[in-house]
Structure 1
Amino acid sequence: MKNLSKVALLLLVLVLVSCGRRENGEITGVLERPSWKGINPFGMVYVPSGTLHIGPSDQDVANTYVQRQKAISISGFYMDETEITNNEYRQFVYWVRDSLAHAYLDHYITDDDGNESIDWEYDIDWEDEILEDLYYQGDDRFAGRREIDVSKFVYEYQWYDWQEAARDRGQSPRNAFIKSKKVNVYPDTLVWVRDFSYSYNEPMARNYFWHPAYDDYPVVGVDWHMANAFAYYRTLLWNNYQQTRGDGVNTEDFRLPTEHEWEYAARGGRENAPYPWGGPYIRNAKGCLLANFKPGRGNYPEDGGQYTVKADAYYPNDYGLYNMAGNVAEWTSSAYYDNAYSFQHDLNPDIRYDAKDDDPESWKRKVIRGGSWKDISYFLQTGTRHWEYQDTTKSYVGFRNALTFLGRSLNDF
């Protein structure tokens, strides 16, 4: 036993000595940490940190006082250069569809820790009778067509309630702040009929999301929850890819921009600019309209688009962002309150409220920005605030994602 004790003591001394030699007896921090080279997300542009004077860029003709002047600071972030297109969102829809098919066909794989996940190496035989339950049945079939029942495209996404966790001060378990919601991710194509009374827009309802002619047009018919679900899926997609590369970690998530990140990005570095291109006019020197909106009564096509246009139509602003005015209005992460500017912080201001399904309707208002193809120019102004209910789908509301930049702002280099 004495010999064993001596051997154990010698090994302990050797370990301690080796650690001391490696760190030279100094505090060096934990060695062999994962590397971090930063990321350059595909399809996104960098918006540097800066200061912004929020508020109206023109007269508040309605005297609403919902956008009072205030100076704020915004941290650098990435933002999609265009609105999320039909084809980009379709990638998400197809992933949910294929996940269901793999689950029906029992295409699973188990890792060394006993965790079960879908094995994407399997091919899907869509003629397999096991998948019949994914298709419309009986009287639900139209003209005898074999079509997938899109009401089954349900996806569960999660988020962490950081605000509630901060208020709790460590009194509750972590799972008390992990929230989740199941949503049907297929766009509501009937918005093209529902949004317009006594108006023939059925061809848009039938074709807008799935026809290749509209692949590069902004997706619409998605509510606030669906937009968040897409961002969650996009984050998982990116993180899984990073793990295969082994080139570092990314703890930030793709998300909807806050209201004031959106406004800051829309101005393109132009202080107090009423429009993303500057202003104060909505036409250039040649008289051409600079965005897709409704320039006159009953006059939708003068700007070149009867409805929406391609997501990269018109010239981008000075940050390289397309259609920050017009085309489709865009969801933000911020809850809408009329007097929000009077009490929110001046450092990365944002107001969140995760409204429940049974909450009053007024609690479900979320800020939308930018105006759309059916709006007059007032709603295109960078300082104009508007809202929609979070569970509402519209033919004129889409979204784009943001991603927080980690580390010192690029404009400080």
Structure 2
Amino acid sequence: MRGYLSLTVLVALCVSVASCGKKGKSSRLPDDGQLHGVAPTANKSMNPPRNMVYVPPGTFHMGPSDEDISYNYTTRNRQVSIPGFWMDATEITNNDYRQFINWTRDSLAFKILYGQGITNFDDTSAVDWKKVAQIKWDRNTVEKLNELNLAPDNRLYGKPDIDPDKIQFKVEYFDLAAAARRDNAGLPRSNFIRKYPQKIYPDTLVWIRDFSYSYNEPMTKRYFSHPSFGNYPVVGVSWRQAVAFCYWRTHYQNSFLAKHKFAIDGDYRLPSEAEWEYAARGGLTNSMFPWGNPYLRNKKGCLLANFKPGRGNYAEDGGFYTVPVNAYWPNQYGLFNMSGNVAEWTGSYFYEGAYNFMADMSPDIRYEAKDSDRPREKRKVVRGGSWKDVSYFLQVGTRSYEYQDTAKSYIGFRCVIDLAPKMKK
């Protein structure tokens, strides 16, 4: 396979050559032997994505802006350049992630009530969302969803309910990195299409599991399910679940664009650690924090982020655990809580010596480990520090990691998307 041409672009090329334009005028090129060019599509571009801000291209010094107190030397300072991209202004909230879960649940319910069930993984039948909108989520309906329900032994007081482990999103994507390898040239396209089911419900038990000899049961019971926490960052989501969210968000957006005859645009994804750090700095050179240097309070004495101040006065910054995603002041790019509240997954693989050999143009190392790989190969870069961390982890140049198949009560995420330059306002 020597190149990648999407089916949408191919169809658009055919339509642009063969179709008729306005007022019956043919869109065929004049047969004059001259070069006129053919636009890939006549569809208009999508609108700027909701609740995202544009991070302009630029160059910055990636790495620590202060002493490397751990002396690990895993973050040597170096100059790199980053192209422009769009980024979520806030961390993904419980309400945002619940939309993903409900969409997946509803699509599975449709296949049980109106289709052939959900046991066939390769079923590609379309979901009729008009019928889905008519589903009444009462006890009678839930009792019909046997394939989604908890087994009788797992129910409280015999109440039928949906089993969170059975809410699985079918991830599908084209592996561009594999297709680009020279030794794969000429292979059929099907060799690079990846499909797998992914459980997506957050692990709400992390609030208890992460802290031994600590009473956090109320957070387990309420944090994801109670409306009061709707605008708080989602936690208990593994790296693999965050990646699945990005694939779903792309699919959800592209379905709308195709339906309304917009041009299909970029894919949502997790930011690389270089993109994350560049965005977190907000255009400030060699600053320790998104708001500058070197203090954690403003001139009025107010703390500037949600973390573990002093010797552990968790409530001093205004939040005992997490806080709403738009709390505190944004940085100069309009991004909230790039330091503190929850640490954030990036798409990058964590390797101690990565800064020594990465390119200086949009640097990144990506590797999606298999379940059979060694734990070392499952490490993903985590940035930003959280509500339970000391201020060192709030520094924009501090690196940390967690394993891609684990979830924590202090790690969330936000998405980025690459769009055409003319999208910039």
Under a length normalisation based on structure 2, what TM-score does the superposition of the two structures give?
0.87
**Aligned residue in 2 for 1:163:** 177
For residue 100 of structure 1, report the CA deviation from its aligned partner: 1.4
The alpha-carbon deviation at position 120 of structure 1 amounts to 1.2
State yes or no: 1:227 paired with 2:235.
no
The answer for the alignment partner of 2:8 in structure 1 is none
Task: Report the aligned-residue RMSD.
Answer: 2.1
> Is 1:63 matched up with 2:78?
no
State the shift of 1:143 in Å: 3.3
Secondary structure of 2:145's match? helix
Which of 332, 339, 349 aligns to 2:353? It is 339
- CA–CA distance in 1 between the matches of 2:33 and 2:295? 67
Cross-structure match for 1:204: 219
Which whole-Å CA distance do the structure 1 matches of 2:174 and 2:317 have between them?
42
Q: Which residue of 1 aligns with 2:129?
A: 120
Equivalent position to 2:294, from 275, 280, 284: 280
| Larger CA deviation: 338-347 vs 146-155 | 146-155
The alpha-carbon distance between structure 1 residues 198 and 248, as it changes in their structure 2 partners (threshold 3 A), is same
Deviation at 1:32, TM superposition (A): 7.6
| Cα-to-partner distance string for 1:338-397 (whole Å, 9 max, x where unaligned) | 010000101110101111101000000000100000000000100001100000100000
* Most deviating of 368-377 and 116-125: 116-125
CA apart distance, 1:31: 5.4
Aligned to 1:111: none
2:194 to 152, 170, 179: 179
Paired residue for 1:45, among 53, 65, 70?
A: 53
CA deviation after TM superposition for structure 1 residue 74, in Å: 0.4
Counterparts of 2:270 and 2:348 in 1: how far apart (Å)?
A: 9
Q: Is the 8 A contact 1:38 1:406 kept in 2?
A: no
Structure 1 unaligned regions, length at least 5:
1-17, 109-113
Residue-by-residue CA offset, 1:54-80 (whole Å, 9 max, x unaligned): 010110011110001111110100000
Q: Alignment partner of 2:351: what SS?
A: coil
The more displaced of 134-143 and 98-107 is 134-143
Opposite residue 101 of structure 2, the aligned amino acid is V
Maintained 8 Å contact 1:45/1:319:
yes
Helix, strand or coil for the counterpart of 1:355? coil
Specify which of 293, 296, 307 is matched with residue 293 of structure 1: 307
8 Å contact from structure 2 (residues 64, 75) kept in 1: yes
Q: Which residue type is aligned with residue 194 of structure 1? A: R
Aligned counterparts of 1:407 and 1:81: Cα–Cα separation in 2: 19
* 1:248-281, Cα deviation, whole Å (9 max, x unpaired): 221x201101111000000000011110011211
- Cross-structure match for 1:152: 166
AA matched with 1:218:
P
Residue 14 (structure 1) aligns with: none
Distance change (3 Å), C-alpha of 1:269 and 1:133:
same
**Alignment match of 1:106 (pick from 114, 121, 132):** 114
Identity %: 53
Change beyond 3 A, Cα 1:19–1:45: closer
- Report the Cα offset of residue 160 of structure 1: 2.9
Equivalent residues of 2:112, 2:147 under 8 A apart: no
Relative distance call for 1:115 and 1:92 in structure 2 (3 A) is: closer
Determine the C-alpha separation between the residues in 2 that align with 1:32 and 1:363.
40
CA distance in 1: counterparts of 2:125 and 2:418, whole angstroms: 32
Contact 1:34 1:249 in 2 (8 A): no
What's the secondary structure of 1:391's corresponding residue?
coil
Aligned counterpart, 2:12: none
Query: Equivalent residue for 1:95?
Result: 103
Aligned partners of 1:86 and 1:209 also within 8 Å: yes
SS in 1 for 2:213: coil
Are 2:210 and 2:409, in contact at CA under 8 Å, matched by a contact in 1?
yes
Cα displacement string for residues 71-92 of structure 1 (whole angstroms, at most 9, x for unaligned residues): 1110100000000000000000
Correspondence for 1:26: 34
The letter of the residue matching 2:128 is: D
* Contact map agreement 1:135 1:149 (CA 8 A) in 2: yes
Shift of 1:178: 2.1
Shift of 1:150: 1.1
C-alpha displacement of 1:38: 5.4
Contact 1:56 1:67 in 2 (8 A): yes
Higher Cα Rg: structure 1 or 2?
1
- Residue deviations 1:205-252 (CA, integer Å, cap 9, x gap): 0010010000000000000110011111111111111112213221x2
SS in 1 for 2:130: coil
Is 1:368 the counterpart of 2:377? The answer is no
1:386 aligns with 2:387: no
**Secondary structure of the residue that 2:269 maps to in structure 1?**
coil
Distance 1:268 1:19, change over 3 A: closer
CA distance in 1, matches of 2:93, 2:144: 32
d(CA) in 2 for partners of 1:189 and 1:21? Answer: 60
The runs of at least 4 aligned residues of structure 1 exceeding 6 Å deviation read 18-21
Residue of structure 2 in register with 1:217 after alignment: 232
Contact 1:49 1:409 in 2 (8 A): no
CA pair 206-356 structure 1, distance change in 2 beyond 3 A: same
Contact 1:371 1:379 in 2 (8 A): yes
Equivalent residue in structure 1 for 2:276, among 245, 262, 273? 262
| Alignment equivalent of 1:307, drawn from 321, 329, 338 | 321
Over 3 Å counting, the alpha-carbon distance change for 1:257 and 1:20 in structure 2 is closer
Q: CA–CA distance in 1 between the matches of 2:27 and 2:86?
A: 41
- 1:316 positional shift: 0.3
Q: What residue identity is the alignment partner of 2:256? A: Y
